[in-house]
Amino acid sequence: MNVQVKIVKGEGIKPYIKDLARLRMELFRDFPYLYDGSSEYEEEYLSVYLRSKDAIIVLALDGEQVVGASSGMPMSMESDEVKAPFVHTELAPDKIFYFGESLLMKAYRGRGIGHKFFDERESHAKMLKRFSHTAFCAVVRPDDHPERPVGYAPLDPFWIKRGYTRRSDLVTSFSWQDLNENGESLKPMVFWIREIR
């Protein structure tokens, strides 16, 4: 497998929206997200990246096939749910570059591509010269969740190694339908923060 990393920004993102939607629907079905999504919703949700000239998507390509992708854009362009925990803190949303999804098909994991996803987004945020921090959020599931696979290893050690700090005081909620649900419900999301150096 000869995986190449490709960076797309602004209007260059448009041809890859369907690929990003496909990866989100496929990989977010796994624990801990258990997400039951639709391509129509995904493409509409992801169109926000087309409205920000400073948005970035880092792609992992095996030939012509997109096998992974990670995204980022200024938090000020994000939804109220994302911005809300920061509004009355020292971390103003307009000073934060927000990382969205980071997705990689299982066969391609363990080769440093995840680090490359972070490297490129962090470098992009630093290059823009108006952000003090990068941040992302992750779903919080109980340790005894019935869908938690045996041997499941959370990504916390990876994020800590990247220099991110879990901020249990910065929590929001996103609504989606789990695979075993009949409708949407709110899921708590905790933020991880890193100062741009």
75-99 burial: b if 16+ Cβ within 10 Å, else e: bbbbeeebbebbeeeebebebbbbb
pLDDT digit string, tens, across residues 181-196: 889 999 999 999 999 9
Over range 8-20, report the average pLDDT: 92
Q: How confident is the model at residue 95 (pLDDT cuts 50, 70, 90)?
A: very high
Query: E strands within 105-164?
Result: 133-139
pLDDT digit string, tens, across residues 97-131: 999 999 999 999 999 999 999 999 999 999 999 99
Domain CATH for 93: 3.40.630.30
The Cα 174–Cα 178 span in angstroms is 12
Give the range of the structural domain holding residue 66, as residue numbers without chain letter. 3-195
Q: What is the pLDDT at residue 1?
A: 64
Q: Which long-range contacts (CB under 8 A, 24 or more apart) does 90-93 make?
A: 91/132, 91/133, 91/135, 91/170, 91/193
The Cα 66–Cα 110 span in angstroms is 17
Q: What is the pLDDT at residue 21?
A: 92
Q: What percent of the chain has pLDDT over 70?
A: 99
Query: E strands within 144-196?
Result: 165-176, 185-195
Q: How many domains does the chain have?
A: 1
pLDDT digit string, tens, across residues 30-39: 999 999 988 8
pLDDT digit string, tens, across residues 51-93: 899 999 999 999 999 999 999 999 999 999 999 999 889 899 9
Q: How confident is the model at residue 43 (pLDDT cuts 50, 70, 90)?
A: confident
The Cα 73–Cα 22 span in angstroms is 20
